[in-house]
């Protein structure tokens, strides 16, 4: 029997060596694949995390940018921003005695000459739990202290200013946002047959956004037929007047002054309507002539339905001129001229100026300015379309 040689390798040992050699490349390849796969997975995981973070940041950024913040409040957290206010008084210390906040505001321009009439107005609205605000156009405040209610109402004074001047500056929509209705009246009105609470109840039920109480035709100075009281109706929204070639008012009329219109002596606005009307009041046009014809754009819907005159609660219009008192006249010196139109050194003559006439002239000038501004605004605003293309009728009502 031959003994095995030292230089020879058994068959099974060769097989084992071959297996080990084959194993290492396979294992190495597997490790490389595993390593690359791990890198890909990690990379994919990082991308997914980054993607999620980006989406969250983008969504957060988009949400923040979408917030409608009042200009100037951007540095503040949104929850601390107080967007509105009101005219309620607060005690210097402690809590209010009771939570009896008013839901409606009565504002009126007043002068001391109408003291008795204003007293009746104020008492009527205070008894109905209204906030009352007096706009003093004559600068006289002291003589109102005789009334018990003087310290319970808000007084604002500016000499020779109209109620529209006051309203533009002191009745900003964000200040009166707490009130359901804003009454903006003249002072020469009688309220013996008027109940503020019943009036508010009627306009709510009838869904009137802009309204006025009807006028007692037996005692009032009535300028427009649509404001006259109807004895058989609670509310009316149009008037009727015969006329040829479309100059009258009938069932088919859809524009002021036949329908969708009130007079401006005693207007009442809902919260939403007042926000719109306030923006339409021109800061420099203090008589607001022409505003009445455009109120329909602020009526929050079809102006033939949401603007009306309340017959069930009516008032008296005394028609007493206040600003521009006709009894007040002033002599103004004018520079004399010779026949050639040149100024001379002679004693100057005087021209008598009637205040009331001058106020009327200024009102008409402002009316023309307002019409021009409206026309220009319509022409320049490409994004705005007119919901009321029918022209307003020029009818003496």
pLDDT in tens, 19-32: 544 555 555 555 55
Model pLDDT for residues 165-197, shown as the tens digit of each residue: 999 999 999 999 999 999 999 999 999 999 999
Please work out, in degrees rounded to the nearest 5, the angle formed at the alpha carbon of residue 70 by the alpha carbons of 66 and 75. 85
pLDDT for 242 equals 87
Decide: 122 and 149 in contact? Cβ < 8 Å: yes
Decide: 187 and 162 in contact? Cβ < 8 Å: no
Q: Which two tokens stand for residue 218?
A: 């037996």
Q: Is 70 exceeded by the pLDDT of residue 7?
A: no
Q: Is 70 exceeded by the pLDDT of residue 310?
A: yes
Nearest to 313 by CA among 191, 205, 210: 191
Q: Is 288 exposed, middle or buried (0-12, 13-18, 19+ CB in 10 A)?
A: buried
Model pLDDT for residues 213-227, shown as the tens digit of each residue: 999 999 999 999 999
Q: Is the pTM of this model over 0.85?
A: no
DSSP, collapsed to helix, strand or coil, labels residue 189 as strand
């Amino acid at each position: 029997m031959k003994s095995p040689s030292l230089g020879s390798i058994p068959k099974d040992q060769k097989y084992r060596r071959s297996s080990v050699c084959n194993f290492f490349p396979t294992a190495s390849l597997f490790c490389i694949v595993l390593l690359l796969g791990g890198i890909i997975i990690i990379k994919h995981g990082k991308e997914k995390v980054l993607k999620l973070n980006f989406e969250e940041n983008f969504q957060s950024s988009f949400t923040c940018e979408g917030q409608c913040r009042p200009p100037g409040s951007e540095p503040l957290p949104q929850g601390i921003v107080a967007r509105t206010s009101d005219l309620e008084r607060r005690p210097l210390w402690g809590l209010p005695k009771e939570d009896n906040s008013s839901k409606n505001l009565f504002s009126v321009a007043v002068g001391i000459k109408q003291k008795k009439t204003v007293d009746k107005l104020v008492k009527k609205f205070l008894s109905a739990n209204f906030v009352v605000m007096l706009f003093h156009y004559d600068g006289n405040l002291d003589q109102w202290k005789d009334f018990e209610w003087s310290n319970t109402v808000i007084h604002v004074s500016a000499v020779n200013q109209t109620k529209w001047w006051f309203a533009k500056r002191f009745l900003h929509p964000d200040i009166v946002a707490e009130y359901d209705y804003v009454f903006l009246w003249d002072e020469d009105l009688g309220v013996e047959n008027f109940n503020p609470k019943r009036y508010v109840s009627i306009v709510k039920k009838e869904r009137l956004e802009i309204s006025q109480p009807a006028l007692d035709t037996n005692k009032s100075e009535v300028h427009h037929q649509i404001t006259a009281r109807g004895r058989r109706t609670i509310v009316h929204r149009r008037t009727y007047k015969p006329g040829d070639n479309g100059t009258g008012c009938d069932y088919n009329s859809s524009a002021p002054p036949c329908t969708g219109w009130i007079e401006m002596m005693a207007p009442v606005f809902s919260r939403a309507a007042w926000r719109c009307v306030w923006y339409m009041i021109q800061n420099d046009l203090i008589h607001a002539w022409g505003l009445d014809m455009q109120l329909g754009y602020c009526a929050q819907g079809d102006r033939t339905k949401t603007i009306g005159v309340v017959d069930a609660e009516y008032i008296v219009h005394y028609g007493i001129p206040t600003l521009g008192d006709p009894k007040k006249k002033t002599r103004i010196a004018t520079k004399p001229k010779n026949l050639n139109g040149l100024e001379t050194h002679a004693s100057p003559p005087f021209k008598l100026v009637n205040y009331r006439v001058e106020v009327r002239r200024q009102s008409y000038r402002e009316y023309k300015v307002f019409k021009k501004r409206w026309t220009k605004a319509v022409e320049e605003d490409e994004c705005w379309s007119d919901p009321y293309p029918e022209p307003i009728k020029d009818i003496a009502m």
